[in-house]
A and B are shown apart, each in its own frame.
Chain A
Amino acid sequence: GIQVEQSPPDLILQEGANSTLRCNFSDSVNNLQWFHQNPWGQLINLFYIPSGTKQNGRLSATTVATERYSLLYISSSQTTDSGVYFCAVGDTGANSKLTFGKGITLSVRP
């Protein structure tokens, strides 16, 4: 199956700093999603981005499918950005089951 590697595993930022989170995957995909899991455990969809670039406020994401990686950018970080960020990819099969990376734990300090 597809392998998903996220880096770095842990990240500590001062409020206001910018950061880049990386997701590498081992095969062609037709689905790539970024999620934020908040400290209460809720999974929140950030982006559906199998290719290209999208922006939503202070967050943006870029996926280069031909090179099998995706980047999530967080600008002007806030304490509410803390939590775990997951990248999940779906293979090119019809059922598009998602394979998750192990996540990146982000802590934003005030």
Chain B
Amino acid sequence: NAGVTQTPKFRVLKTGQSMTLLCAQDMNHEYMYWYRQDPGMGLRLIHYSVGEGTTAKGEVPDGYNVSRLKKQNFLLGLESAAPSQTSVYFCASRPSGATDTQYFGPGTRLTVL
């Protein structure tokens, strides 16, 4: 199993450009999450999904959209990137059972100039 993978690993954008981050998991997990990590802030939840075709807002959703068309994939989109979205983005997934352990991908480092 590859676990949770993220594409791309690094990206540099100019203000106003758009992009999509891809998260894929091969563990048949129901729940998937997108977080951002900023210096001194820990990780903050952007959006999450409790199953295929569902999405919900987290703590910091503004400026982002998500889609979960397939159970194994969770896409994070930036329609018009801003310098404030410079961050490291982590995807996570977990099964729907009682253990609730979240498994994290390796992260995507995004810089918006």
Contact = CB atoms under 8 A, between A and B. Distances in A.
A96 interface: yes
Nearest to B102: A98
A42 B102 CA distance: 14
Interface of B: 31, 33, 35, 40-45, 48, 50, 56, 58-59, 88, 90, 99-104, 106-107, 109
Nearest to B45: A97
Interface string A79-98: 00000001010100001111
A97 B101 CA distance: 11
Given A33-B102, A43-B90, A48-B101, A95 B48 contact: yes
22 contacts: A30-B100, A33-B102, A35-B104, A41-B106, A42-B107, A43-B90, A43-B107, A45-B103, A45-B104, A86-B43, A95-B31, A95-B50, A97-B33, A97-B45, A98-B43, A98-B45, A100-B35, A100-B42, A100-B43, A100-B44, A102-B40, A102-B42
Contacts of B40: 102
Given A95-B56, A97-B33, A97-B58, A48 B45 contact: no
User: Chain A contact residues (Cβ within 8 angstroms of B): what range?
Assistant: 20 to 34
Interface of A: 1, 4, 30-31, 33, 35, 41-43, 45, 48, 86, 88, 90, 95-103
